[in-house]
Each structure stands twice: as C-alpha cells, then as structure tokens.
C-alpha cells in the first residue's frame, strides 16, 4: 500500500515533425492539446506536474489525446527517464529505481500479452523470472483465477491470438493482480473493446479496485470511465493538470472553460464575447440581470464567457418562462432523442453561436424551427473572457 506523490514532474521531447512536411489542408482550427513548444524549442509532454494519490484511492487522469497521460504513467512506473522532478511512493524516492523493483501491476490498451505463452504462461512468467517456487506460483494463480470469476480458468489454456479482445484484457488484468502489486496502473484499458465489453470490463475493474483497495492510477480520455472509477479525477491538458477533484466537483465547480467544455454529455455551452456593464451582462442582443454578489465578483472582468448547461435550458423566453436568465433564440439544426432520459437534445444556431438545449420529448419540434430557450441566472457560470478562469 502506498501513497504516490509526484513533485514538479517535467518531461520534454524534441518536437516531432511529419517526414512529409505540413499538409496543404492542415487543419488549423482543432484545439491543439499536445504541449506547445517552449522557449528552448522542446515540447513539454509534462510541465511541472504535482499530484498526490492517497493510499488505496483511484486517481483517474482524464484528458484528450496527446495531453501527456501516458508519459505521466511511464514516469510513475519508471519506464521514462530524463524527466525532472521526483516520484515518491510513501516517503521512498523512486527516481532511480527500475520498474521491476516497484511492485506495479500495469494494464495497457493493447493488452501487451506475451503472444507465444498461453494465459497461464502469461501469469506465471513473473514468478519464473523471480525464481519463485512452482507451488507458490500455482497457488497465486489459483487464487487470482478465483478472484477473476466465472469463465476465467478456461482462458489460462489458450494463447492470446485465440482470445477475443475482452478475454485478452481479462488475462492482462489477472497478470497485474497475480503479482500482488502495491500500485495498479491502467493506460486506457478499455479503448479497444466494443461498447458492451467496455461496460463489463469497467465493472470488473471497479470490483477489483474496491476489493483490493490498492492505490491506482487510471488513464482515460473517456469521462464515463472517470466518473465510474475515479475517487479523484485530474483533468489534464497540454502537459498540465487543469483541475483535481471528485467528478462531482469538476462538474459543479469547473475551474476554467477547458474543464467546463470537456465534461458533461454534451458539455456546457460556452458563450464567448459577453460584456459587463453595471449589474447587467450582455451577449449579442441578449442580456442577463445579475443576482446576489455576482456584480461585485465580476467587477474587474469586463470581458466574459458565459457557461450554461444544456440540461438547465427552459423552453420559452424569460417572460413566458417567468424567470430571469439568459434567453437566447436559435434555429434547430439537429434533434437527438434520449428515450432513457425522456427528453431530447436540440442543437441550435444563432449567427455565430452554436449551442445545445435539452427539451421535453413531447414538445413538437422540427429541424429548421426557430425556438427560444432560457438558462436561469442562478444556473449560469461566468468565466474571464481572456484567461478562461472561472469567476463565479
Ligand atoms: P497521451 O497519452 O495523453 O495521448 P502522451 O503522453 O503519449 O499523450 O504524449 C504527450 C506528448 O508528448 C505528445 O505531444 C507526444 O507527441 C509527445 N511525446 C510522447 N512521447 C514522445 C517521444 N518518445 N518522443 C517525442 N515526443 C513524444
Ligand atoms: Mg496515451
């Protein structure tokens, strides 16, 4: 059992260029999530990352592709040298300790099983390398099979090539467990599985994490996994941790527009280009009268981005909805029914503004209709228009 502490971890690489040069149709508008070059011309895959994972807890690292998640795991397990900063397990500094001496169980996206061994050989390899007596190894494998549950034993006699993705990942998880690790590391373990298996395997991982209470770091780009598995979630972007908290905290108190725009299905609407005058915020032709302390809190932020969750939308303008808030009209572009939640998600466009609103299933609505929705004032989030930091 260990508390894991990362102190100011920075890892840089030379920027990688496509050998073919820049494509003529290079896409400029997609948000670049990998690290921007620094003054020294290097790219920081990790930039001064400090994190503590409490003993027995699962920390999920959540972020888009290229933000540094795998590099972080590689630093934690000792596969990455050439970083600055320090890694501690409890109070033991691990910087010079090779991976094999760190008591880690790792599970990867691509399973990384030894293809020429059967399941059993994949589990026992660790013991053979360490010259553990056969009896003890067999006993550990037997206990692990029991823990893995129904149908697992049959997998031990088969080579990875004859197993489905889900079965291979079960063997890989068992291989991590059989070592009796102090620390579990998962790098997008569900990414190659289809939707149903993803749910099954996720539930299995959750059961195992609860059962063992082992400190774990779980890397994913999928917020559903973060919500299901993380005691704590760290949202990463461009080599930095943007926010650390419970999933609930990240949803209710996002620290900035990046976190707000990354979480939620669909994520929060972010209306840029709002401005403050007195106790009124204006956005295009709409305006919001601020309540409570907000005029004071916003005083030194003349340029604002307003955040509004689709699920807080109420059909109608503020007069007809009998509430104050941000009323905004738009043309219906796309309608997605959500039968499980008895509503549908409507994507709207108003000039340059695109936004989403949740509306009841039973209201007649067609593509091309123009509707007006109101986001109640107390449900709105305000961010600084330049830095993106949350104000209130
Ligand atoms: P993630 O796992 O979040 O997708 P990675 O940790 O794999 O991200 O990579 C983070 C950044 O570091 C990316 O910009 C990637 O191109 C860069 N990077 C990672 N490993 C190397 C390497 N060995 N050489 C050069 N650049 C690398
Ligand atoms: Mg990765």
What pTM was estimated for this model as a whole? 0.91
Calculate the CA dihedral of residues 40, 43, 48, 54 and round it to 10 degrees.
-160
Nearest CA to ligand 1 atom 5: 68
Average pLDDT over residues 105-124: 96
pLDDT digits over 276-311, tens only? 999 999 999 899 999 889 999 999 999 999 999 999
Could you tell me which of 192, 175, 200 has the C-alpha nearest to residue 119?
175
Average pLDDT over all residues of the chain = 92
- For the chain, helix (H) and strand (E) counts, in that order, are 10, 20
Whether residue 358 is predicted with pLDDT greater than 90 in this model: the reply is yes
How far, in Å, from the CA of 314 to the mean position of ligand 2? 39
pLDDT value of position 212: 85
Measured by CA distance, the residue closest to atom 21 of ligand 1 is: 13
* H-only helix segments in the chain: 69-77, 119-129, 134-148, 165-178, 195-212, 223-229, 247-252, 257-262, 294-297, 318-321
Q: Which atom of ligand 1 is nearest to the CA of 236?
A: 3
Ligand number nearest CA of 34 is 1
Dihedrals phi, psi of 175, to nearest 5 degrees: -65, -35
- The residue whose CB lies within 8 Å of the most ligand 1 atoms, and thus the one to mutate among 13, 218, 239, is 13
Q: Which residue has the higher pLDDT, 85 or 27?
A: 85
Position 362 confidence tier, pLDDT thresholds 50, 70, 90: confident
Q: What is the pLDDT of residues 317-327, one digit of tens each?
A: 888 878 899 99
**41, 45, 242: which to mutate for ligand 1, most atoms within 8 A of CB?**
45
Q: Rounded to whole angstroms, how far apart are CA atoms 380 and 325?
A: 8
Which ligand has the minimum distance to the alpha carbon of residue 17? Answer: 1
Give the model's pLDDT for residue 2: 87
Ligand 1 centroid to Cα of residue 68, in Å, is 6
Residue identified by tokens 């108190």 is 253
Please tell me the distance between residue 97's alpha carbon and the centre of ligand 1 in angstroms.
22
Query: Residue whose CA is closest, atom 20 of ligand 1?
Result: 71
- Ligand 1 shell residues, CB under 6 Å: 13, 16, 34-35, 43, 45, 63, 65-71
CA of 65, nearest ligand number: 1
Give the whole-angstrom CA distance, residue 283 versus residue 287. Answer: 6
Yes or no: say if 3 and 55 are a contact pair by the CB < 8 Å rule: yes
For ligand 1, atom 10, which residue shows the shortest CA distance?
68
Nearest to 375 by CA among 339, 325, 333, 338: 325
* pLDDT tens-digit map of 30-87: 444 556 667 788 889 999 999 999 999 999 999 999 999 999 999 999 999 999 999 9
Q: Determine the pLDDT at residue 338.
A: 87
Centroid of ligand 2 to alpha carbon of 106 (angstroms): 14
| Cα distance between residue 59 and residue 6, in whole Å | 13
- Give the distance (Å) from ligand 1 centre to CA of residue 358: 37
What does the alpha-carbon distance between residue 340 and residue 228 come to, in Å, rounded to a whole number? 19
Q: How far apart are CA 110 and CA 386, in angstroms?
A: 40
**What would the two tokens of residue 264 be?**
């939620």
* pLDDT at residue 231 is higher than 70: yes
What residues contact 273, with CB distance under 8 A and at least 6 apart? 283, 284, 303, 305, 385
DSSP 302-354: -EEEEEE-GGG-EES-HHHHTS-EEEEEEEEEEEEEETTTTEEEEEEEETTEE
pLDDT at 99 over 90: yes
In this structure, are residues 311 and 346 in contact, taking their beta carbons and an 8 Å threshold?
A: no
User: What's the 74 CA to ligand 1 centre distance in angstroms?
Assistant: 11
* High-pLDDT (> 90) share of the chain, %: 83
CB 175 within 8 A of CB 205: no
CA of 44 to the centre of ligand 2 (A): 15
> Measured from the CA of 74, which atom of ligand 1 is nearest?
6
């Amino acid at each position: 059992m260990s508390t894991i502490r990362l102190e100011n971890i920075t890892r840089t690489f030379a920027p990688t260029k496509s050998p073919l040069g820049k494509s003529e149709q290079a896409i400029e508008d997609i948000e670049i999530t990998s690290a921007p070059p620094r003054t020294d011309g290097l790219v920081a895959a990790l930039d001064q990352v400090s994190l503590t994972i409490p003993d027995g807890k699962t920390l999920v690292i959540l972020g888009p592709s290229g933000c540094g998640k795998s590099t972080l795991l590689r630093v934690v397990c000792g596969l990455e040298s050439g970083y600055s900063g320090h890694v501690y397990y409890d109070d033991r500094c691990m910087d010079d300790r090779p991976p094999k001496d760190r008591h880690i169980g790792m599970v990867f996206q691509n399973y990384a099983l030894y293809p020429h061994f059967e399941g059993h050989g994949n589990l026992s390899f660790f013991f053979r390398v360490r010259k553990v007596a056969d009896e003890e190894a067999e006993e550990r494998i037997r206990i692990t099979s029991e823990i893995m549950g129904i149908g697992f034993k049959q997998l031990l006699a088969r080579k990875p090539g004859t197993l489905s993705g889900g079965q291979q990942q079960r063997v890989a998880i068992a291989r991590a467990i059989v070592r009796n690790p102090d620390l579990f590391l998962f790098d997008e373990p569900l990414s190659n599985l289809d939707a149903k298996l993803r749910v099954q395997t996720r539930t299995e991982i959750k059961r195992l994490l609860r059962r063992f209470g082992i400190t774990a770091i779980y890397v994913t780009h999928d917020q559903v996994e973060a919500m299901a598995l993380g005691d704590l979630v760290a949202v990463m972007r461009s080599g930095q941790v943007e926010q650390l908290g419970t999933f609930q905290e990240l949803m209710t108190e996002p620290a900035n527009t990046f976190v707000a725009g990354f979480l939620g299905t669909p994520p929060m609407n972010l209306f840029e280009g709002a401005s403050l005058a007195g106790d009124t915020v204006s956005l295009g032709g709409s305006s919001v009268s601020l309540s409570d302390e907000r005029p004071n809190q916003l005083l030194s932020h003349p340029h604002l981005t307003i955040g509004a969750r689709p699920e807080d939308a109420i059909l109608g303008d503020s007069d007809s909805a009998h509430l104050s808030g941000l009323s905004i009209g738009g043309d219906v572009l796309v309608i997605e029914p959500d039968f499980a939640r008895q509503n549908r998600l409507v994507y709207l466009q108003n000039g340059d503004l695109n936004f989403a609103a949740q509306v009841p299933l039973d209201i007649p609505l067609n593509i091309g209709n123009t509707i007006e929705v109101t986001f109640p004032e107390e449900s709105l989030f305000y961010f600084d228009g330049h830095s993106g930091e949350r104000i209130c």
